[in-house]
Structure 1
Amino acid sequence: MKTLLLSLLLVSSSALAGNSQYVNPFIGTSNFGATHPGAQYPNALASLSPFNVAFGDALNKFEKDAAWNSRVYIHENRYLTGFSHLNLSGVGCPEAGVMLLMPTTGKLNLNAREYGSTYSDEQASPGYYTSQLDKYQVKAELTSTLRTGLSRFTFPAGQSHILLNLGLGLTNETGASLKVVSEREVEGSRMLGTFCYNPEDVRPVYFVARFSKAAAEFGAWKKMPKYQNVEADWISYNDSIKPYAGYRQTLSGDDIGAWFSFNTEAHEAIEVKLGISFVSIENARANLDAEQPGFDFAKTRQAAVNAWDKLLDRVEVEGTETNKTLFYTALYHSLIHPNILQDVNGDYPLMGQQGVGNSKQNRYTIYSLWDTNRNLHPLLSLLYPELQSDMLNSAVAMAKESGWLPKWELYGMETQVMVGDPATPMLADSYLRGIRDFDIQSAYQAMIRAAEQRQHNLLRPENNDYLDLGYVPVDDEGPYDGSVSTSLEYYLADFNLSQLAGALGKTADQQKYLSRAMNYRKLFDASTGMLRPKNRQGQWLTPYDPELGRNFEPAPGYIEGNAWNYRFYVPHDTPGLINLLGGESAFVQELDATFETGNFDMANEPDITYPFLYNYVAGQSARTSLRASELIASHYGNHPAGLPGNDDTGTMSAWLAFAMMGIYPVSPGLMDYALFNPSFDKVTLKLNQDYYPGKTLVIEKGKPKARSDTQAEFNQGPLARPFLSHQSLVQGGHLIIQ
């Protein structure tokens, strides 16, 4: 079994030189991690992934984990129906996974259930994926650029085909259009949207695909409706597929595609490049012409490797090969989303409206901010401030266009998924860390609107009650509202607004929002030690079960968790919570109980800071090192199930990256990193001197001492507490943790 796994994960090292050689793209492709092993360029709009989540029963069995597919690829599944060109990584609702290319041989078959194939000899590395399609003995190889993908299919001798399927995909939306332009080119669009079943977000993505060889024959197909009862005026679909050989007009429908047929010699390779755009077919063609003017697979692949090495080499670590793989794969996953949205000419779809904008900077999309404001954006701020700067500018531009900062933004559409006001912590925290080359005054006004508007507030729909009561009441709460959870997110946003106001010299605002942020005490129930739901009359929710929600069942007051998961979720005021819980000893006892009773959830965001809270208690910081190392060993690994669950657009991976370096940002808006035992003997961060004064920061594991807490020294001076501020850290120097 080990030999088989190694054969799957081994990658040709001919193109790899830097730290990209340690990345294993198969990590997270099982255990609902929702990553994919496909060809990915850093922060790219396009990506090419094997699509193996359709027709698992075609193998006469139901595939493992196939019940809920928010992912284009599941490692246990072995039936492939093509390679998709627009994909999400680590997302909990199905979307994208569209524009599938599939190579076949022999008699032309346009039924995806039938033309799918098992596959073998699977390998992946940054910017590259390959496998052998068993049914056809075709070798498939994939690579990509920012806005385009390149596939190379090596065929046996005989009749060969390349199919473009616009019906299959993860998206809940249907509808597509295509036109065969010539024997070498096809163009069209595919509808996307209804993410997490939100009916408001619908948008087309446009494409142009070009072939390295002219097809001997070509055509389009359409899955046909069959009228079962004309008088009743209803229809049902069967598997009747109508081909249109040589068709050169526009074809539209819910389930359509095109084919290109070739007479191939043995080992003949045909390449297909496909460019995408969210603005127009013309822009998709321009993206393709600019990023792939010719067909050069080796050059395109090497460019992707070079781009990954440029970013991954920002950190150098000394340790075991396994730890290097875990760490650099975590950085890799942290650098997929947000991704660029604009075309090579700067065009992008406006946020929340029809029309096209244009930007000289990179315009980003995929803001899963309920997840990523906690650690992914602080990680980018530390290691890649130039990327974070563009992401901040994009978020502010979204507010100017739509009136609101993003919450869970997708391809210029606001999906309104999850609760809280997470853009405020993301923007404020970044500004406080020293990234200030964005329009902070416009950002501040957008934050104030979210904090103050009572009615029709897109970011804080519960704001009216929150402003009147100091908390969101449990009255009239829906199954996915989470009154306590929502309140806690508002408190954190207000704290960040307070900190930002202070930095901007707005003293009155600073005090106002700090006072609001401390209203979490209104939800603290001394009898249970929990942050407990209250109604509008100020009465506690009764009956009350703090463990309800442990298995993601609806729990009044909490979203995606139970009371234990949210028990310490006031990261902006942990010392105040310690006092409420009865002091340091009681705090440590209850924190221990969270882990020991199975009420800590590594796979979800509200409690992922809890391992680092021991640092707030003198003499107990060694427990942070213990908890962090235990969680890494239990939930992360160099195998497909090597993430604790859904990566949430890189959040779980960002947690691992920080945890392995021995530093963790305790809260957005607070500049302290908790310090604890790193996983490496030595970590060297190469700081961006356009943003930070230091050149390098070295984090080194010191020799252990017979003490019960963590000792650290920075630039030869001992630290009184196991914390170091961001402002000190980016001065550069030498941090020793022992």
Structure 2
Amino acid sequence: MRLFRAVIFTASTLAFTLHASAQKKQDYTKFVDPFIGTGGHGHTYPGAVMPFGMMQLSPDTRLTGWDGCSGYHYTDSLVYGFSHTHLSGTGVPDYCDVLFMPTTGQPQFKNTEYRSIFQKKNEEASPGYYKTHLDKYDIDVELTATTRVGVHKYNFPSTKQANIIIDLQHRDQVTNSWIEVINDHEIRGMRQSKGWAKDQYVYFYAKFSKPFKTYGIAVNDAVKDGIKKAEGKNIKMFLQFDDPNEVISKVGISSVSAEGALKNLDKEVPDFDFKRVEKAAKAAWNVELSKIEVEGGAPPSNQRTMPPGMADPAMQRSKADKTKKPVAPPDYAKIKQRVFYTAMYHAMLAPNVYNDVDGQYRGLDGRIHYADGFNYYTVFSLWDTYRAEHPLLNIIDRKRTADFIKSFLAINREGGLLPIWPLASDETYCMIGNHAIPVIVDAYAKGIRDFDVKEAYAAMKSAVNKNHFGLESYRNSGYVATAKDETEVVSKTLEYAFDDWCIAQMAKMLGEQKDYQTYIKRGQYWKNNFNKQNGFMQARVNGAWKTPFDPNEVDQKFYVEGNAWQYNFHVPQDVEGMIKSYGGTDNFAAKLDELFTTTAKLTGTELPDITGLIGMYAHGNEPSHHLAYLFNFTNTPDKTQLYLNRIFNEFYNDKPDGLTGNEDCGQMSAWYIMSALGLYNIAPGQQQYQIGLPQFAKAVVHLENGKKLTITNSGAVAGRDNIYVQGINFNKKSHNKLYINHDDIANGGDLEVFTGRLPNRMAMQDMERPTSKIADNLIVPNPVITVLQTLVPPTQVSITANDVEENVLYYTTDGTTPTTASAVYSKPIPLAAGMTIKAIAVKNGVSSFVTTATFK
């Protein structure tokens, strides 16, 4: 049976292998620069890794600090060594497990003593490969990897003291570790640590191409003579070779056992042929990267300053020689292709395979489990990646997507909850919402069904009906209420409402009508945080809007990693309902314009996550990622194209600081990939992809069903501006829509987008807009109870509806729950000490939740 499954898996990848070999042999890895994102705040690493691999073998140059989350920063000049696990673009540090460092001379165990200077000119990186030179020791280091094995190649100078230092204390807090010498070619060990992941196990097994003549195991940095094994919280080791010239070390890792690490090692790297492993890694990356072929590339618009790193040298002349001819302008097509394929590379670094070659893995319950017929994955940055990373993979990597969902269900069985942000064998509970839900629903809606649908549906409902993280308040009040122990309350309401809308879509597809009615109503709970008076998503305190209120203020009590501006339009499931709440398209468009054009500055808490600003739009953090596309719902869809152009040109380049914010396990790159293709799904679970602004003269998306989607842009050629869409054809026929459905993509075809320098609003006015609407009147927003500011007593309280339509307001002042038999509100109520006022709004027989205000 296992053999049969293995054959099926091989067949599923065969189509892409055949496609890659059938087309002209293009090396897409040459367009990838792993150093992009390693500077600035990108938090990526440049080391050797396979697509979605368990092994991430990379240099460690930074041990602490926010910009050291990946263990590497481009500006550093000291390297501590080369560890086997790394996180790509996260905002919290972890991993960097089991450090190897080649040295010469007397072995040292303190990292400040064994580290070395290195120079950027000696660094090289490409998919599956990394190289550097250690100046202190005159050692050349090369790294490559398979899915579960890292291979080191060290070229030592002539010396009788050629060492490899192995540091198990390196990086986060070690709770236990051990190391053991098996023979003069092999060692094994384990590292258990506490960091972002509260209890992480990494077992390793290492084999060396040459025998070491001696070794020493250090406990608390002191060598213990005559021992072959040691255990503790500070265990290190040196292996010493006698003038070896070249030593190759291959290291398998496992979360299960040292035996599991050995199985991984022997299965994936049976010899010491470094070049073979490197070549195989490159070939594997070419298969993945060739799933989307792009040609040509739109130049930056001449209407604005070139972005950093892309200034036009043709405008520069030598100061020493005024007659010198301008240098050739940069090849913008090649720059765009480097940005695109590096984005493809980054989008395929996570999630990571976590099971051994025999299917075993350590689950969230700490026990060993078996992944039967699928790969089990970890490192799901779901608050980020549900937006574009997973929709991208639903198009180009559907088999792996099914394995992701099977991993979700295993996590749910082991930990009692669908994943939020799982890392290794732990749930970090980082960020808000439960965004495994939109990933499951989007996959199912787009035809990925190879998982237990009933189990998934039950798990989704269970996740949103627990009593944690404000969910109880959300269900009972229609929003997450402000409380001492509750943070990010407005953002939580909005994210929970989106998850509920997703469950409603699943219920609809499964014919669960009662559930559909329940969750589609909950999908409208965003209305209870929308203040129609000022047009902002705002927190409520004691029945009233939270005051004072500054939409520019960053306050984690109310918004997660942002302010009211950045979360204001976070209703991708009901854009048309939001437009109605604003009082119409013009009002909505005006507010959206203000988001991008305001000159106001951020106030409140300083958060490094909020970067890439255009007005208050913050591309460096995910809640903003769909906002430019909302102009497609207005009478000025050309502004979607205008701001996409700015985002492309100002926030993505091919330099180390080429990402404006954290890469976040592929989301920042996936946004670029989808948007550069001209397609974006603002609400996963919807069938519509909005048509934006393709960045390439031609892009071919190869689908797993053997079909292909070809996207062309007439304006994406060197020297031409292509800011605005002039018209669209699909399969040689006029396409009078600003969107394309998933079935059109899945069936393949030719999408032609014609672009030009100036807006063509006449053509755009005739385009059919995308849809994003929940049926009207499913809920009535909660009324607002406000203390009126009067000059003299008595103090009065007003009750107002928070709806665009007429409501009848009922209230009580004795603490009882109001009904339609209670007093009808008609004028302000005199306030007495100790009074509790409760109110409801009723429209067409539908009642809001109760709003309560208590005055002490």
TM-score normalised according to structure 2 size: 0.76
Deviation at 1:495, TM superposition (A): 0.5
SS in 1 for 2:68: coil
Q: CA deviation at 1:708?
A: 7.1
1:474 match: 482
1:547 has 2:547 as partner = no
Matches within 5 A, 1:557-576: 557-576=558-577
Whether the 8 Å contact between 2:57 and 2:83 is mirrored in structure 1 is yes
> 1:695, 1:351 → 2: CA distance?
39
Q: For 2:212, give the aligned amino acid.
A: A
Q: Which of 201, 215, 224 does residue 244 from structure 1 map onto?
A: 224
| SS of corresponding position for 1:274 | strand
Amino acid aligned to 1:310: V
- 1:6-155 → structure 2 map (5 Å cutoff): 18-54=27-63, 66=65, 68-120=67-119, 121-155=122-156
Classify the secondary structure of the residue corresponding to 1:367.
coil
C-alpha distance in 2 between matches for 1:361 and 1:555 = 39
Structure 1 position 706, deviation (Å): 12
Report if the CA contact (8 A) 2:252-2:264 is conserved. Answer: yes
Which one of 255, 268, 286 corresponds to residue 234 of structure 2? 255
Amino acid at match of 1:300: V
**CA deviations over 1:94-117 (Å, ceiling 9, x no partner):** 111011111111232222211111
Structure 1: gaps of 5 or more residues: 1-15, 56-65, 224-240
CA distance in 1, matches of 2:543, 2:241: 73
Q: Which of residues 678, 686, 697 in structure 2 aligns to 1:681? A: 697
Native 8 Å contact 2:379 2:422 kept in 1: yes
C-alpha contact 2:693 2:723 (8 A) present in aligned 1: no
Match of 1:440 among 427, 444, 453: 453
Deviation at 1:47, TM superposition (A): 1.3
Q: Does 1:601 align with 2:613?
A: no
Provide the rounded CA distance (Å) in 1 between the counterparts of 2:226 and 2:734. 76
- CA deviations 1:546-580 (Å, max 9, x no partner) are 1111xxxx343111100000010000111111122
Checking the alignment, whether the CA contact within 8 Å between 1:399 and 1:406 is kept in structure 2 is: yes
Amino acid across the alignment from 2:254: S
The yes-or-no answer on 1:697 pairing with 2:702 is no
Equivalent residues of 1:676, 1:737 under 8 A apart: no
In 2, Cα distance between the equivalents of 1:642 and 1:161?
Answer: 37
Give secondary structure in 1 for the equivalent of 2:676: helix
Give 1:711 deviation, angstroms: 2.8
Confirm or deny that 1:286 pairs with 2:263: yes
Q: What RMSD over aligned residues (CA atoms) do the two structures have, in Å?
A: 1.8
Which secondary structure state, in structure 2, belongs to the residue aligned with residue 113 of structure 1?
Answer: helix
Match of 1:299 among 264, 276, 291: 276
Residue 7 of structure 1: aligned partner: none
Distance 1:172 1:432, change over 3 A: farther
Is residue 2:471 matched to residue 1:463?
yes
Shift in Å at residue 193 of structure 1? Answer: 3.3
Q: What SS does the corresponding residue of 2:70 show, helix, strand or coil?
A: coil
Between the aligned partners of 2:534 and 2:174, the Cα distance in structure 1 is 46
| 1:166 matches 2:187 | no
Query: Post-superposition shift, 1:67?
Result: 5.9
What's the offset of the Cα at 1:477?
Answer: 4.7
What are the equivalent positions in structure 2 for 1:648-659 lying under 5 Å apart?
648-659=664-675
SS of 2:693 mapped into structure 1: coil
Identical aligned residues as a percent:
35
Question: Which residue of the other structure, out of 511, 517, 525, is the alignment partner of 1:519?
Answer: 525
Aligned AA (2:679): I
Please report how far the alpha carbon of residue 721 of structure 1 lies from its aligned counterpart in structure 2 after TM superposition.
Answer: 2.4
Question: What CA distance in whole angstroms lies between the structure 2 residues aligned with 1:273 and 1:296?
Answer: 10
Shift, 1:192, TM fit: 2.9
SS in 2 for 1:438: coil
When residues 451 and 710 of structure 1 are mapped into structure 2, their CA distance, relative to the original with a 3 A threshold, is farther
Distance 1:708 1:71, change over 3 A: closer
Tell me the alpha carbon deviations over residues 30-78 of structure 1, each in whole angstroms, 9 at most, x when there is no partner: 11211100001111001110111149xxxxxxxxxx5653121000011
Cα distance in 2 between the residues matched to 1:173 and 1:725: 50
User: Which aligned pairs between 1:400-549 and structure 2 lie closer than 5 A?
Assistant: 400-453=413-466, 455=467, 457=468, 461-478=469-486, 481-535=487-541, 537-549=542-554
Q: Distance in 1 between matches of 2:703 and 2:722?
A: 33
Q: How many residues align?
A: 671
Opposite residue 86 of structure 1, the aligned amino acid is T
Aligned equivalent of 1:12: none
Gaps of 5+ in 2: 1-24, 297-332, 599-614, 755-856
Give the Cα separation in 2 of the matches to 1:567 and 1:251. Answer: 56
Q: Which amino acid aligns with 1:214?
A: P
What is the CA–CA distance in structure 1 between the aligned matches of 2:68 and 2:723, rounded to whole Å?
Answer: 48
Encode CA deviations 1:243-268: one digit per residue, 9 max, x unaligned: 134531x2122222111111216xx2
Shift of 1:581: 1.8
| Partner AA of 1:472 in structure 2 | V
Q: Is the 8 A contact 1:621 1:709 kept in 2?
A: no
Counterpart of 1:218 in structure 2 is 215
| Conservation of the 8 A alpha-carbon contact between 1:95 and 1:172 | no
- Cα distance, 1:344–1:709 mapped onto 2, change above 3 Å: closer
1:387 matched to 2:400? The reply is yes
Q: Which is higher, the Rg of structure 1 or of structure 2? A: 2
Aligned-partner SS, 1:293: coil
- Does the residue aligned with 1:625 lie in a helix, a strand or coil? helix
Structure 1 contact 39–127 (Cα < 8 Å) conserved: yes
Distance 1:416 1:112, change over 3 A: same
Q: Which amino acid is 2:179 matched to?
A: L
Aligned residue type for 1:303? A
Distance of 1:301 and 1:329 partners within structure 2: 18
Q: Is the 8 A contact 1:352 1:401 kept in 2?
A: yes
Does residue 641 (structure 1) correspond to residue 641 (structure 2)? The answer is: no
- Partner secondary structure for residue 564 of structure 1: helix
CA distance in 2 between counterparts of 1:246 and 1:513 reads: 66
1:663 matched to 2:679? The reply is yes
Residue pair 1:51, 1:82 contacting (<8 A) in 2 also: yes
Cα 1:727–1:173 shift into 2, 3 Å: farther
TM-score by length of 1: 0.88
1:373: how far off?
0.9
Residue by residue over 1:205-237, the C-alpha shift from the partner in whole angstroms, topping out at 9 and shown as x without a partner, is 1001111110111111122xxxxxxxxxxxxxx
Contact 1:682 1:699 (C-alpha < 8 Å) held by counterparts: yes
- The CA deviation at 1:275 is 0.5
SS of equivalent residue, structure 2 residue 617 = coil
Conserved 8 A contact 2:55-2:147: yes
- The secondary structure found in structure 2 opposite 1:298 is helix
Amino acid at match of 1:244: K
> Which residue matches 1:630?
646
Matched residue SS, 2:79: coil
Q: How far 1:709 moved relative to its partner?
A: 5.8
CA offsets, 1:355-383, max 9 Å, x none? 33342211111111111111111011011
For the residue of structure 2 that corresponds to 1:316, the secondary structure is strand
Residues 97 and 202 in structure 2, CA contact (< 8 A), matched pair in contact too: no
